[in-house]
Amino acid sequence: MATVVETYGSAPRPVGSIAVLNQQGQVMGSVSGGCVEDDLADWLRRDVGACVAGTLLTYGKDAEERHRLRLPCNGHIRVWLEPATHALVSSLSQWVCAGQVVCRQLNLSTGTWTLDTPPPATRTALRGDVLHHVLGPRLRAVLIGAGEVSRYLAPIALTLGFKVEVIDPREEYTSTWPHPGCTLYQAMPDDILMEAPPDARTAVLALSHDPKIDDLALMEALKVPCLYVGAMGSVRTTMARRERLTLFELSARQLEQLHGPVGADIGARTPPEIAVSIASDLVAAIRRAPQPRPSPACRR
């Protein structure tokens, strides 16, 4: 198992990126654009027995190596390579499969590691000789409404690594849902969100165009800190929605979570363009980037 522990300059993958390789040359995951993986796979094919303990490797030490490996200009990465032991894989799996976030603290000097629950907002980072590597279950995207925007957004969210749930009580929409990789509920959204409450790894997106459906979801989502809460609609519609939600005892602070109109300001007009704008805003939320202001013209 190869893990990026440090980058300098332009690097193709961030710290914490993982690739798993075997001596047959098969690779899952990524620590670069493919060049470092090729080198690691070649090394394992030649001498897999050499990887009996953790090894720290540096790629891109000089211009010649950066050119050979096709690394970006002036960039280098340090990769920790270690056996993917049963103890490591099973321990991490137990946390993640239980829906828990875990921090693996890896000491690069000794090769030892421990697992623990990280404090809120802990980020993956190398501190001294210890990599604090935060891992967790898939992010969750809850799409309210199975209409056209949701149908374009769902496969994008799946590609971004989200577990996608679609909630719509209307049979005429759920009966023709085209994406089998999603969990589909024909139910009212508040019922589902009360059974499985959203959290800091959840994005709730109200996209049904029906206030009776969207508002029920928002009332549940805005009660807790979420990764992202957004609702589709014009500026006027959004203002009216905020006024309605105040009647249900949602505070001004809770309403600050609401992204409305939803999505990044890219001038989107069509359903697929709106889906791309929402996905862009989700990526910004994941990376904790400043959220761009949405444009009134780009929403229905």
DSSP state of 49: G
Q: Is the pTM of this model over 0.75?
A: yes
**Phi and psi dihedrals of 281, rounded to 5?**
-70, -35
Nearest to 149 by CA among 294, 258, 266, 273: 273
pLDDT one digit per residue (tens) for the chain, 300 residues: 999 999 887 677 889 999 998 888 888 999 887 778 888 888 888 776 667 788 898 887 666 655 565 565 556 789 999 998 899 999 999 998 888 889 999 999 999 999 999 987 788 999 999 999 999 888 999 999 999 999 999 999 999 999 999 999 999 999 999 999 999 999 999 999 999 999 988 999 999 999 999 999 999 999 999 999 999 999 999 999 999 998 888 889 999 999 999 999 999 999 999 999 999 999 999 887 333 333 333 333
What letters, b where the CB count within 10 A reaches 16 and e where it falls short, cover 273-291?
A: bbbbbbbbbbeebbeeeee
What is d(CA 134, CA 81) in angstroms, rounded to the nearest whole number? 18
C-alpha dist (Å) from residue 221 to 35, 72, 202, 214, 281? 43, 41, 9, 11, 17
3-state secondary structure of 205: strand
Whole-angstrom distance, CA of residue 200 vs CA of residue 213: 22
Is the CB of residue 5 less than 8 Å from the CB of residue 56? yes
Name the nearest CA neighbour of 241 among 205, 212, 272.
212
Question: DSSP class of residue 292?
Answer: P
Exposure of 103 by Cβ count < 10 A (0-12 exposed, 13-18 middle, 19+ buried)?
Answer: buried
Q: What is the pLDDT of residue 74?
A: 59
Q: Which two tokens stand for residue 149?
A: 């925007």
Angle at 294 between CA 286 and CA 200, to 5 degrees: 25
Give the pLDDT confidence score for residue 49 in this predicted structure: 66
Q: How far is CA 279 from CA 17, 40, 150, 213, in A?
A: 21, 33, 11, 22
Structure tokens at 287: 């990376």
